[in-house]
């Protein structure tokens, strides 16, 4: 399982990579917008220096035509580094760009996936990761569980090396469902992780254990 952070916030990236087994960081222009008017490339380089080269950094193109997407990809690779995964929405120009960038040996993450067919085409185009949008699919009455299961089947059928990087989560149940239905990776906002670990039952269990220990060994004592 690969867990990635879907954020461009430096403080959160530092904090969560420090204590979680995070394998990468993803963003898109809407996520970047939350950081205000930053120096985009310096910001992405700062993220790279925090996460290191062993974790993946996924940066989305902004251009919407084929030539523009290729130009965006070249700029991202030059101004950040050659290991960046170029995030490209799966539509006509996007698929053309994915095919060309894979021909050049560039790392590619195919994104904005709402349907199985988009995923099948991105797998055929050789994308390294495909990113189905779990919550947005649910909002459209498209079953993301079934879709992700079939995407995983297609990867197995075609003996492809593409991995499913499920995205667009609003709760931890959706993350579990994506992983249980065949996603090898999931990217999520830090709110999802915080939500999952802030369960009152967990806090209650820890407090009970401390209380029982202190009954035997005295208030404020610990093992060491």
CB of 187 to ligand E4P, least distance (A): 6
Q: Does 133 bind ligand E4P (CB under 6 A)?
A: yes
CB of 92 to ligand E4P, least distance (A): 19
Choice from 9, 17, 168, 183 touching ligand E4P (CB under 6 A): 168
CB of 168 to ligand E4P, least distance (A): 3
Distance CA 191, CA 185 (A): 18
Stretch touching ligand E4P by CB under 6 A, among 32-40, 49-57, 129-137, 148-156: 129-137
Q: Which is nearer to ligand E4P, 107 or 168 (CB)?
A: 168
Q: Does 183 bind ligand E4P (CB under 6 A)?
A: no
Q: Which is nearer to ligand E4P, 95 or 131 (CB)?
A: 131
Site string (52-71) toward ligand E4P, x via CB under 6 A: --------------------
Task: Give the interface size with ligand E4P as a residue count (CB under 6 A).
Answer: 12
Distance CA 221, CA 211 (A): 11
87 is catalytic: yes
36 phi/psi in degrees, rounded to 5: 85, -160
Distance CA 60, CA 27 (A): 7
Q: Which is nearer to ligand E4P, 136 or 213 (CB)?
A: 136
Distance CA 172, CA 181 (A): 14
- Chain centroid to CA 188: 6
Q: Which is nearer to ligand E4P, 91 or 221 (CB)?
A: 91
Q: Does 111 bind ligand E4P (CB under 6 A)?
A: yes
Choice from 13, 113, 131, 151 touching ligand E4P (CB under 6 A): 131
Q: Does 125 bind ligand E4P (CB under 6 A)?
A: no
Choice from 71, 115, 135, 171 touching ligand E4P (CB under 6 A): 135
**CB neighbours of residue 159 within 10 Å:** 6
CB of 95 to ligand E4P, least distance (A): 17
């Amino acid at each position: 399982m690969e867990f990635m952070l879907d954020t461009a916030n430096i403080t959160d990236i530092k904090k969560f990579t420090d204590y979680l087994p995070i394998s990468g960081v993803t963003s898109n222009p809407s996520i970047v917008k939350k950081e205000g008017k930053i120096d985009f490339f310096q910001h992405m380089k700062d993220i790279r220096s925090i996460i290191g080269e062993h974790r993946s950094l996924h940066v989305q193109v902004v251009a919407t035509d084929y030539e523009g997407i290729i130009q965006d990809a070249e700029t991202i690779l030059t101004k950040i580094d050659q290991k960046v995964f170029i995030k490209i929405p799966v539509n006509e120009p996007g698929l053309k760009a994915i095919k060309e960038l894979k021909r050049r040996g560039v790392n590619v993450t195919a994104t904005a996936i709402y349907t199985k067919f988009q995923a099948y085409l991105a797998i055929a185009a050789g994308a390294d990761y495909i990113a189905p949008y779990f919550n947005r699919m649910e909002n459209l009455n498209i079953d993301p569980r079934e879709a992700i299961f079939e995407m995983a089947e297609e990867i197995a059928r075609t003996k492809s090396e593409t991995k499913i990087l499920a995205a667009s989560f609003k709760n931890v149940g959706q993350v579990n469902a994506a992983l249980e239905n065949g996603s090898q990776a999931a990217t999520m906002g830090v709110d999802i992780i915080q939500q999952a670990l802030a369960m009152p039952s967990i806090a209650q269990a820890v407090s009970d254990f401390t209380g029982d220990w202190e009954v035997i060994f005295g208030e404020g004592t610990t093992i060491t």
